Amino acid sequence: MSMPPKSRTSFAALAPKYARLAATLDKYARSVGTGAPTPRADIVELQLRTIASLRESAEATLAIAEALGDATCPRDVTCLHLGDWNRCNSCFEEQVGRYFEQAGKLLTAVMQITEPRSFVAAKSACGGGGTFHAFPQRAASFTEAQQRVFELLVTGLPNKLIAYEIGVSEATVKAHVSAVLRKLQVRSRAQAIALSSAFERNRSGDRAAAAE
């Protein structure tokens, strides 16, 4: 009796879809807390938690896709009896792709609920450890490797792709990320991105004011 063909699940095929979601996560991490005259600190915190949760979930899902590689579909036995091999072989990749797309839409909806001020977001991003004004001093303690990891982290890349980009192991990247978060005194990647973004916005505003 012939066996079903191997799964076509591909890390390379799903990575671009993840990248689009990561770009959306990054965009909202940078923009959270801008606009409304009356801030809602509780909403800002929940938005940041949503961003962090979706990012962590998406990274784990992408890692599963890579780990599967050419492994046969978990439903091989069922598909063998049903003869529905092609559908089964594509189901994981299809569902992951849809998840990435729907996660982006969900995030857009969450971020449209309210638009608190950027300074509130910066305060939340610090996890109670200060505002974006402390960012330069904290970032100054980065090692060269930590600085490179941070530069890639704020673009929304997961640890695995950061490791590939700089040519080190994923475990090394995880250690650098942990050190970066500790030095910035934040609890998550989303908060680190929001803190950096708030600092950059403030610096741009100062430059514009000085030029007037």
Q: Is residue 90 part of a domain?
A: yes
Q: Is residue 3 part of a domain?
A: no
Angstrom CA distances, 11 to 18, 76, 90, 113, stand at 10, 20, 13, 33
pLDDT tens figures, 106-138: 888 887 765 444 434 444 444 444 466 788 888
Q: Is residue 151 part of a domain?
A: yes
Q: Is residue 5 part of a domain?
A: no
Q: Model-level pTM?
A: 0.46
CB–CB of 106/51 below 8 Å?
A: no
Q: Is residue 67 part of a domain?
A: yes
pLDDT tens figures, 19-51: 888 888 888 887 775 544 445 667 777 888 888
Structural domain harbouring 157: 11-211
Instruction: Give me the percent of the chain exceeding a pLDDT of 70.
Output: 66
Q: How many structural domains are present in the chain?
A: 1
Tokens of 98: 């849809």
Q: Is residue 2 part of a domain?
A: no
Q: Is residue 6 part of a domain?
A: no
Q: What is the CATH number of the domain that holds 147?
A: 1.10.10.10
Angstrom CA distances, 98 to 9, 14, 73, stand at 14, 10, 18
Q: Is residue 181 part of a domain?
A: yes
CA atoms within 13 A on the CB side of 205: 8
